[in-house]
């Protein structure tokens, strides 16, 4: 803007306007401001502030709910973790008990088996002993019968030969040595 | 050359309300008698706000974008730190739309004054007086509507004051209502006027002294940057004090 242009511009302003103070009251301006502001308030209230503030409230509510939900989930997770820990401990305890019981049962079973085996062995031994004694008796019987048969045979021979006492004794000794 | 140039008239010419709108590369636009230049600024500011908040502000976004987010931050600031803080949750929420309109209207008018094509309507005391009148209305009629005559008197008369003093105190308090709103009006108008006067005085120096005064343009730019800050600050102060004054009347703490 040049000085010439400015002076032209200034001349274009009416003298009354140029003289008027910056503080001159202007009712029409006040009314125009009121009307503009009231209309603007009404329009913005209906189409801007009401939906904007509603959206903000809804979002805040949703964020609060989400945070509360997250907190609740966190607590539930912590609770689940502790429950799981507790359950694991219980399971461990139970498995230990089961193992102890089964170990005890196995020991008892082993004892029983051992006892039974011992009993069986004892019975077998007794049977064997009985068999041996029976066989011994049987052998004795056989020996006795054989001795009798030999005695009978010897007696028969003695009778048939009719020998003297010296001769009998020699014969018997020879027979005994022979047998 | 310089004797023909009157700096005072130059500044007044740019600050005063008129019925001519100087547009670049165009002849001055004559305005009708019922609509002055500042009146046009009011209408343009109102139109800008309607376009901004009714059309550009995306209310359906679940996650607001940069533009919507920045405006939303200001709305939340006005609701939480100005309205609710000074008026309580219930009244604060109820008056948030009014305070938002007040803040953005004043801010738009202030910022428009920094754009060369436009004029500063908030440097017009009639405009600021009209705006401060709304504050006065809320202080008086809002309190009457909310608490009745008893509530209004309770806001004016401190408890435990001897009756003899009331003859002095009540008129002072009533006078105080007008003083407060008057101060509100003058603060905004004077700040906007002074800032622009400084800018035009510095630019006028170039017209008065020629090329030798060119560095003053740099100063004018610096003051212009400061004016942007002042535009926000004054809009904030006006809105904040409105909330504080209304809050003092709604919830008197004597």
**Which residues of chain B lie closer than 8 angstroms to A58, CB-CB?**
none
C-alpha distance from B27 to closest chain A C-alpha (Å): 11
How many C-beta neighbours within 10 Å does residue A148 have? 10
Residue with tokens 């108008």: B189
How many C-beta neighbours within 10 Å does residue B181 have? 24
Q: Each residue's pLDDT tens digit in chain B (254 positions)?
A: 445 677 777 787 777 788 888 888 888 888 888 888 899 999 999 999 999 998 888 777 777 788 888 998 999 999 999 999 999 999 999 999 999 999 999 999 999 999 988 988 999 899 999 999 999 999 999 999 988 888 888 888 877 788 888 888 888 988 999 999 999 999 999 999 999 889 988 888 888 888 888 888 999 999 999 999 999 999 999 999 999 999 989 888 75
**Which residues of chain A lie closer than 8 angstroms to B107, CB-CB?**
none
Cβ–Cβ under 8 Å, residues B95 and B138:
yes
Query: Who's near B35: CB < 8 A, 6+ residues apart?
Result: A32, B19, B43
End-to-end CA distance of chain B: 64
Cβ–Cβ under 8 Å, residues A26 and B17:
yes
Closest by Cα among B230, B36, B46, B215 to B131 = B46
Q: Which residues 51-110 of chain B have a CB within 8 Å of chain A?
A: 53-54, 57, 59, 62, 72, 75-76, 79, 93, 96-98, 100-101, 105
C-alpha span between B225 and A57 (Å, rounded) = 36
End-to-end CA distance of chain A: 171
Q: Each residue's pLDDT tens digit in chain A (179 positions)?
A: 334 344 444 444 444 454 456 778 888 889 999 999 999 999 999 999 998 999 889 888 999 999 999 999 999 999 999 999 999 999 999 999 999 999 999 999 999 999 999 999 999 999 999 999 999 999 999 998 888 888 888 888 777 766 566 777 777 788 778 76
Please give the pLDDT value at position A11. Answer: 45
Please give the pLDDT value at position B4. Answer: 61
C-alpha span between B246 and B240 (Å, rounded) = 10
Domain chopping of chain B, boundaries: 2-250
How far, in Å, are A13, A115, B218, B224, B238 from residue B193 at the CA level? Answer: 20, 118, 20, 13, 15
**Which residues of chain A lie closer than 8 angstroms to B19, CB-CB?**
17
Please write the tens of the pLDDT for every residue from B95-115: 999 999 999 999 999 999 999
Closest by Cα among B146, B116, B138 to B21 = B116
Cβ of residue B38 closer than 8 Å to a chain A Cβ? yes
Q: Where are the alpha helices (DSSP H) in B16-84?
A: 37-50, 66-77
Please give the pLDDT value at position B2. Answer: 44
Token pair of B157, please? 């008369």
Please give the pLDDT value at position B254. Answer: 53
Q: Which residues 135-174 of chain B have a CB within 8 Å of chain A?
A: none
Please give the pLDDT value at position B226. Answer: 94
Token pair of B218, please? 């740099």
Query: Who's near B14: CB < 8 A, 6+ residues apart?
Result: B196, B200
């Amino acid at each position: 803007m040049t000085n010439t242009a400015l002076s032209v511009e200034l001349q274009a302003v009416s003298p009354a306007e140029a003289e008027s103070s910056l503080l001159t009251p202007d009712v029409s301006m006040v009314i125009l401001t009121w009307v503009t502001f009231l209309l603007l308030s009404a329009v913005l209230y209906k189409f801007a502030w009401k939906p904007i503030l509603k959206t903000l409230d809804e979002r805040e509510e949703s964020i609060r709910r989400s945070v509360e939900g997250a907190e609740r989930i966190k607590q539930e997770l912590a609770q689940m973790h502790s429950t799981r820990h507790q359950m694991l401990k219980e399971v461990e305890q139970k498995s230990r008990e089961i193992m102890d019981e089964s170990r005890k049962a196995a020991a008892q079973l082993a004892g029983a088996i051992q006892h039974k085996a011992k009993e069986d062995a004892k019975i077998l031994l007794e049977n064997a002993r009985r068999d041996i004694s029976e066989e011994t008796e049987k052998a004795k019987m056989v020996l006795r019968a054989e001795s009798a048969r030999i005695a009978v045979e010897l007696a028969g021979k003695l009778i048939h030969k009719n020998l003297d006492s010296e001769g009998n004794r020699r014969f018997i000794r020879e027979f005994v040595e022979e047998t | 050359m310089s004797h023909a140039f009157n700096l005072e008239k130059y500044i007044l010419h740019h600050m005063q309300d008129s019925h001519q709108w100087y547009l670049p590369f165009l002849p001055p636009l004559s305005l009708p008698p019922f609509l002055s230049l500042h009146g046009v600024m009011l209408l343009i500011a109102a139109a800008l706000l309607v376009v901004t908040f009714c059309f550009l502000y995306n209310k359906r976004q679940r996650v607001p974008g940069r533009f919507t987010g920045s405006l939303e931050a200001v709305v939340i600031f006005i609701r939480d730190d100005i309205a609710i803080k000074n008026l309580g949750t219930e009244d604060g929420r109820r008056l948030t739309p009014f305070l938002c309109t007040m803040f953005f209207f004043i801010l738009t008018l202030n910022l428009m004054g920094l754009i060369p094509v436009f004029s500063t309507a908030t440097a017009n005391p009639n405009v600021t007086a009209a705006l401060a009148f709304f504050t006065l209305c809320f202080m008086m009629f809002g309190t009457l509507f909310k608490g009745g005559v008893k509530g209004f008197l309770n806001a004016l008369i401190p408890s435990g004051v001897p009756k003899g003093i009331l003859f002095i105190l009540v008129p002072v308090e009533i006078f105080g209502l007008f003083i407060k709103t008057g101060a509100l009006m003058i603060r905004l108008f004077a700040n906007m006027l002074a800032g622009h006067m400084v800018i035009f005085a510095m630019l006028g120096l170039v017209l008065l002294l020629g090329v030798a005064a060119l560095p003053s343009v740099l100063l004018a730019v610096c003051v212009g940057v400061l004016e942007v800050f002042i535009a926000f600050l004054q809009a904030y102060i006006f809105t904040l004090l409105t909330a504080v004054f209304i809050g003092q009347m709604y919830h008197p703490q004597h």
